[in-house]
Chain A
Amino acid sequence: MPLTEDDLYRTSTQYKYWSFTSAQLATQRETTNLQATERVKANVARQRAARARSQVESANTSDAGSGVETGGNTPLHLGAEKEVNCLTVAEEKKLVDTFCERALELGSFLKFPIDVTATGIQFLRRFYLLNSPMTYEPQTISRTAMFLAGKLNNHNVGIEKYVAKFPKVTAEQVLAPEYLLVQGLRFHFQVRHPFHGLKGGHLEMMEMARGNAAPAPHCTETREELQKAMLALPKHARGNPQPWTVEQMEKRITQAYGFADKRILKGPAQLTDAYFLYTPSQIWLAAHLLADEPLTLFYLSTKAPPTSPLHEKLLATLRACAALLSAHHTYKPDTLSAAEKEARDKLEKEQVSALIRKLKHCRDPDKMDLVKLNAAQKRDAVRADGELEESVAKRRKVQREGFEKQADDFWGPELKKEANGTK
């Protein structure tokens, strides 16, 4: 029994662990948001209480005489502090989408090939299904996600060279959340993209136009009949059939490819939930549908006969995916006027800056410094993990003895305490 693409896709971690229905996705995001919100509120309250207590203490100790009055006033002041205004699920998602957009720019700045960048972006999206931007700040995480994507996909630039590309970013800042990130990804590192599929479909359509494509098994038409049908496709959806030369059709196919690739796969496909909701082939076909509907429908009809129930189901899925992709603010069909585009961008910019301002006031105070947190976690683990501690201690002892011996060989043995004169 030959393996099909579908069989292979079903063995992938993307299919098994990172594909969802929109309801599942919504539930997961609510859970994540709720947990983060509770934690932010609890941690902020605890910090405020601690601050208040230390104020009371310092007031009492520094000014014992009037202590009664100031001590009595502090709790009132504490009560006046506003409750933290946390991000909603929708706001969290919008923020993540925004940072995916910035990661896309980061990828081209780093000169990563698109599939490496796209992997980094999906790492980010997957991470924020289980974590909130309130807990882990997205800019920090996105730098780590892109570094990890490079490292895993034969584009390891080296940490020093990598951080040199950013102002005021240290190697520790990029590396500290790496562990957090891989755990959040549940150790799944392989992301399946729609780029190859689009390219394959494009080459196949070109061959169809030239009359060279072998028809699919169910197909009753010959390759010549396929070519003939293709060269009579309407220009637009619901248009009338019109004649095309092979060269004209090749040009049309190439244009559709360019549009689907640049304007959709390298844009909205990365910045929406497309990867969670659809397979790579559904995504590229939906992108192609947006680029050239009659061409895509024709191509589909050569794969599954329009009479089959599968065809209808497939088309409904593709239309839903196309709707998701085209709703993104970076999707700009040629039909959109310059003024409309500008208005769209302006609105987006305002929303984003408001969100980033809001995020500043609802960060989890315990997770501000990931470098320190990482160091603390490692330190605690050494204590918790007795076996490791033993081996580390042993290694250190051997090392220390080695150094001491070297030092002794060079300087001569340490002077005796008695011989050390005055003290």
Chain B
Amino acid sequence: MLQSTRSPASTTASSPGPDGPTDLSQQINDSVRHRFVIDTRPGHKLGEGTYAIVFSGHYRTDPTHLVAVKRIKKNADYHDGIAPDAFREIQFLSELSHPNIITLHAVFSTKSQTLSLVLEHLPGGDLEQLFQTPRDQLAYSASDFKAWALMLLRAVAFIHASGILHRDIKGNNILIAADNTLKLADFGLARAFAEPGRNMTHQVITRFYRPPELLYGAMHYGAAVDVWSTGVVLVELCIRDFFLPANTDVEQFHVVEHMFGTPTEESWPGVSSLPFYNLSSAPPKQAQWRAWAGARLQMLGGDGLEVVSGMLAVDPRRRWSAERVLRHAYWGNEPQMTRKELLPRVPGKGGKKKVGEDLKRGAEGEGEGEGRVEKVARKLDFGSMRN
């Protein structure tokens, strides 16, 4: 009697059946995950940063279709659930499909609740490597420059038309595909255009690429911030060096004023009411951009210089939009741009290691907590200058 009633199943019956039916959303996730084969062997990672590990992989049905799988690491210092950095990148990349923007093929999660982003495989290095390669190893012309510039501007115009700000445009966030196409990547700081009147943080964009309105602490800004960064990148590509390097945020201020002059109410109406305007140089500095550009930016030609000057207008309201840049005659003028397949490549690129280095770099050494926005914020400390 005792034997017959004591079923062995009774001890586990009250806990949820581990092999029971899974949720529909779990099933969808599992099927997405199954579409990719990922190489997670130790020593085969494409790269690793504080924020993500990048593995190589491919579609299960097509082993020649390579992908880079960015697995987001758990952020132990973030206590408000899943850290927003990963979300931001997914949120914006999912909405954007354009030949000059990195493709997000899929997103899935593993049992341990880590998110993985399946991204386009881009083995050609990045724009910063391109301009930093010594001239004797990599030569490029005004025609090559024009082709790269156009691909970059198309990406920027597209995200702006979609109502999204990138807020971290710089050479090493512009990656190069196997077929030489440029792709804008790293949307970890992106956001949608703000509603008029809502405050935004000015502590974004890597320092060298930060536009004057952010340096002066503007709380309201728009697409013009990305156009400035893009202009800086284009100048760097011409001079094959950093254009406005500075070691501190305060120094950045002076480097920009040194090149473009100290803005005044005449040159930039409203500038004097920005929070950090009182930190600007006294006596005011004179702009030396025209003279400097005339001497150093031969690659642009007169029409190209007009375009880049428009992108680097200090007053954000006078700065050209990416769309206006695209409409300029420069693109159709001589010299004609190089066909994509003939563009020079970064030597030694196309190798496996590099893709991952590029993809995870944006986050390396950067944010924990609320993420990179705060980290950048911490770097910007004007307090010591107030007295």
Contacts and interface: CB of A to CB of B under 8 A. Distances in A.
B134 interface: no
Interface stretch (B75-83, B140-148, B170-178, B213-221): B75-83
Interface stretch (B61-69, B88-96, B274-282): B88-96
A68 interface: yes
B80 A35 contact: no
B95 A3 contact: no
A35 B28 CA distance: 15
B84 A366 contact: no
A39 interface: yes
B267 interface: no
B1 A184 contact: no
A13 B13 CA distance: 41
Nearest to A115: B195
Interface residues of A, number: 65
Nearest to B16: A366
B53 to A, nearest CB: 10
B162 A384 contact: no
B115 interface: yes
B158 interface: yes
Given A46-B13, A183-B26, A378 B81 contact: no
Interface string A171-196: 10011001110111011111000000
Interface residues of B, number: 53
Contacts of A388: 112, 114
A31 interface: yes
A241 interface: no
Nearest to B106: A187
A373 B20 CA distance: 14
A71 interface: yes
B260 to A, nearest CB: 30
B87 A151 contact: yes
A188 B344 CA distance: 37
A373 B23 CA distance: 14
Contacts of B79: 159, 171
A11 B91 contact: no
Contacts of B80: 151, 156, 158-159, 175
B6 interface: yes
Interface centre among B21, B95, B161, B194 (most CB of A within 10 A): B95
B84 A151 contact: yes
B20 A39 contact: yes
**Which secondary structure dominates where chain B touches chain A?**
loop
A399 to B, nearest CB: 11
Contacts of B195: 113, 115
A267 B322 CA distance: 37
A50 B5 contact: no
Given A178-B82, A378-B113, A135 B28 contact: no
Contact of A154 (B13, B23, B95, B191): B191
B97 interface: yes
A187 B115 contact: yes
Interface string B347-387: 00000000000000000000000100000000000000000
Given A53-B7, A151-B87, A385-B110, A131 B25 contact: yes
Interface string A29-50: 0011001001100110011011
A381 B162 contact: no
Interface string B1-38: 11001110010011011101101111011000000000
A190 B370 contact: no
Interface string A1-41: 00100001001110000000000000000011001001100
B81 A147 contact: yes
Given A50-B10, A151-B87, A183 B29 contact: yes
Interface in B126-162: 158, 161-162
Given A39-B21, A54-B10, A387-B40, A175 B81 contact: yes
B36 to A, nearest CB: 15
Given A147-B81, A190-B92, A131 B13 contact: no
A380 interface: yes
B7 A190 contact: no
A382 B112 CA distance: 6
Contact of B24 (A61, A131, A151): A131
B113 A377 contact: yes
Contacts of A68: 1
Contacts of A159: 79-81
A229 interface: no
B23 A50 contact: no
A182 B194 CA distance: 24
Nearest to B5: A56
Contact of B25 (A3, A43, A130, A366): A130
Given A8-B161, A46-B13, A190-B95, A31 B24 contact: yes
B309 interface: no
Contacts of B370: 156
Interface in A65-90: 67-68, 71
A385 B158 CA distance: 40
A356 interface: no
A8 B90 contact: no
Nearest to A159: B80
Contacts of B113: 179, 377-378, 381
A190 B158 CA distance: 17
Given A57-B5, A159-B79, A382-B112, 7 more contacts: A35-B21, A53-B13, A57-B6, A153-B192, A178-B81, A186-B28, A377-B113
13 contacts: A3-B158, A32-B24, A47-B14, A54-B10, A57-B5, A61-B2, A130-B24, A179-B82, A182-B82, A188-B94, A377-B113, A381-B113, A387-B40
Identify the 8 closest CB pairs spanning chains A and B, nearest first: A50-B13, A381-B112, A381-B111, A187-B107, A189-B91, A366-B16, A184-B25, A130-B24
Interface of B: 1-2, 5-7, 10, 13-14, 16-18, 20-21, 23-26, 28-29, 40, 79-82, 84, 87-88, 90-92, 94-97, 107-115, 158, 161-162, 191-192, 194-195, 198, 200, 370
